[in-house]
Amino acid sequence: MTAVRPIKSVVLCADDYAVNAPTSQGIVALCVLGRLSATSVMVHSPRWPQDAPALRDMRERIDVGLHLDWTSAFAKDRGFGQGLGAVMGRSLLRSFDHHQVMDEVQRQLDAFEAQWQAPPSHVDGHQHVQQFAGVREALCEVLLRRYGSQRPRPWLRVSQVAQVGLKAHVISAMGAQALQGWAQQNDWPCVAPLLGAYGFEGSLNDYRQRMQAWLLDVPTQAPPALIMCHPAASAQADDEIGSARAIEFAYLASHEFVQDLRDAGVRLVRGSGHTLPVE
């Protein structure tokens, strides 16, 4: 008798909702197809208020959370943001002001809830800042105060990578163990390990091969792993990863992606615990 292969569970999360119109449009289209199980919002983007209604129509189909941001152009325009290198340096030097970071985390959660009209299903971070020292402690304190008595609590992405060898993996691993430890001590839901990191280069077939490898790398034990992605319906000219976004969208919208899920024995699930049927 042939052994039955266990079904593996993955949260497939599209980052950067509201970063630009093609990204929001592409994420909504993939939600309609059932090809995503989560998305994370850049709430300081001026597009968030106008892009929120389309996402609210997907409320029962997908987890929607805060993409905590310290490094984008939106954050820099607000006066608190810096480039990734500078933020990493401040983290290593422990030079963040705890109360100022708490205030900014609150502002981003307020901006999320003002449009979503509910708490986030999860919190992660643009370029993994949610777990950098100085940001992590303030975020955890705000989460406990704001959602500690709530059930379910917003789950956290822990960027504990399942691969090695890329600079992006080193960045994403910063603070992962500390955030995981805090979550365990406080009985806080989280999703790890993280897959999906690459240099945003290559063809559609290259991306498909990467996804096939990530799907095979998903551990069989619960809880689910997380694969991050960055799709957009088209490439916006001023988006430095616009071409990669368009390639990701084309693959995730394809029948080949559905077949690759089946071949790997993977089902998409929401981090909040709801299985997502893929159409």
Angle at 8 between CA 177 and CA 158, to 5 degrees: 20
Q: How many helices (H) and strands (E) does the chain have?
A: 11, 9
Give the pLDDT of residue 168: 47
CA atoms within 13 A on the CB side of 27: 31
Superfamily of domain 8-268 in CATH is Glycoside hydrolase/deacetylase (3.20.20.370)
Query: Among 120-129, 150-159, 232-241, whose mean pLDDT is lowest?
Result: 150-159
Angle at 225 between CA 145 and CA 213, to 5 degrees: 150
pLDDT tier at 188, thresholds 50, 70, 90: very high
Q: Do residues 40 and 124 touch, judged by C-beta distance below 8 A?
A: yes
Q: Does residue 278 register a pLDDT over 60?
A: no
pTM: 0.92
Q: Do residues 166 and 135 touch, judged by C-beta distance below 8 A?
A: no
Coil, helix or strand at residue 258: helix
In the predicted model, what is the mean pLDDT of residues 86-110? 95
Beta strand ranges found along 126-173 (DSSP E): 155-157
Q: Does residue 249 register a pLDDT over 60?
A: yes
% of the chain surpassing 90 pLDDT: 78
Tokens 């969208």 correspond to what residue?
249
Residue 131 token pair: 């777990």
Written as one letter, the residue type at 19 is V
Beta strand ranges found along the chain (DSSP E): 8-17, 38-41, 63-68, 122-125, 155-157, 190-191, 194-195, 225-229, 266-268
Give the pLDDT of residue 276: 56
Q: Does residue 118 register a pLDDT over 70?
A: yes
Evaluated on CA atoms 265, 271, 275, 279, the torsion sign reads negative
Q: Do residues 196 and 169 touch, judged by C-beta distance below 8 A?
A: no
Tokens 């109360």 correspond to what residue?
99
Give the pLDDT of residue 57: 87
In the predicted model, what is the mean pLDDT of residues 172-196? 88
Give the pLDDT of residue 5: 62
pLDDT tier at 18, thresholds 50, 70, 90: very high
Give the pLDDT of residue 2: 45
Whole-angstrom distance between the N-terminal and C-terminal Cα of the chain? 30
pLDDT tier at 1, thresholds 50, 70, 90: very low
How far apart CA 211 and CA 204 sit, in angstroms, is 11
- Mean pLDDT, the chain, integer: 91
Cis amide leading into 154 (omega within 30): no
- Cβ density class 125-142: b for 16+ within 10 Å, e for less: bbbbbbbbbbbbbbbbeb
- Cβ density class 15-25: b for 16+ within 10 Å, e for less: bbbbbbebbbb
Give the pLDDT of residue 274: 63
Give the pLDDT of residue 52: 97
How far apart CA 96 and CA 203 sit, in angstroms, is 40
In the predicted model, what is the mean pLDDT of residues 131-142? 96
